[in-house]
Amino acid sequence: MEIFVYHTPELTPDQPLPDCAVVIDVLRATTTIATALKVGAEAVQVFSSLNDLLATSAAWPEEKRLRAGERGGAMVEGYDLGNSPLDCTPELMMGKRLFLSTTNGTRALQRVENCPQLITASLVNRGAAADYLVKNQPKTLWLLGSGWEGGYSLEDTVCAGAIAAYLTEKGVEFTKGNDEVTAALSLYRQWQDNLLGLFELASHGQRLLKLDRLDDLRYCATEDLIDILPKQVSPGVL
């Protein structure tokens, strides 16, 4: 297996696509996606554009859909919910399709939606995502962070490092396709015992703290909490 880490959708090459891409947006889109599926959402359908989300979800029965929109960390007015994984309760989600648009995570997903295998990972489902890689051993693997509006984010890189560390623990041999893999592993090894502390340092962590979202940070910093593997079944649908 040859692994490449890309920090943002903008830094991700167009071609050639890898056998498998793992999209990471720890704060908070891919944590929310895993959690929604865990509590019984029928599927999560992602959109980078709010207008496209509204148009597609309008064709869905109202009682079977939820519209989640986030921009700048806050809920978009008129939507059912924002992007907090803590809002994903079984009562709300069971049997419904979550139509989701976020600032960066859904854009990252669209960037690699043509990959033959596309899964999402966050710290809460890191083990499930990494077990899929152990089992399937893709020849080329991209770990793709979502970043923030084109910039680097610590939380996505530490999750890429957590996945690479897990593969090492399981005895999977891989080559490092770029230096970012080494950097991600080092970041994870430095912070693995204090992931919340790292999130408090991170610029998006600080943005969410200003919005009073410490509980979200705590949840998103918890490793291997849920055994769910979000996998793309058709473009944009997990």
Q: Which residues bind ligand 3SL (CB under 6 A)?
A: 25, 27-29, 70, 73, 83, 102-105, 146
Only one residue has tokens 């059912």, namely 80
- Taking the least distance from each CB to ligand 3SL, the nearer of 138 and 205 is 205
Q: How far apart are CA 100 and CA 83, in angstroms?
A: 8
- Taking the least distance from each CB to ligand 3SL, the nearer of 57 and 146 is 146
- Taking the least distance from each CB to ligand 3SL, the nearer of 57 and 102 is 102
Q: Considering the complex, what minimum distance in angstroms separates the CB of residue 28 from ligand 3SL?
A: 4
Enumerate residues 6+ apart whose C-beta is below 8 A from 3.
Answer: 141, 142, 143, 164, 167, 174, 175, 176, 177, 181
Q: How far apart are CA 17 and CA 173, in angstroms?
A: 21
- Taking the least distance from each CB to ligand 3SL, the nearer of 7 and 28 is 28
| Cross-strand partners of 65 | 97
Q: Considering the complex, what minimum distance in angstroms separates the CB of residue 83 from ligand 3SL?
A: 3
Q: Considering the complex, what minimum distance in angstroms separates the CB of residue 66 from ligand 3SL?
A: 15
Q: Considering the complex, what minimum distance in angstroms separates the CB of residue 35 from ligand 3SL?
A: 12
Q: How far apart are CA 108 and CA 140, in angstroms?
A: 18
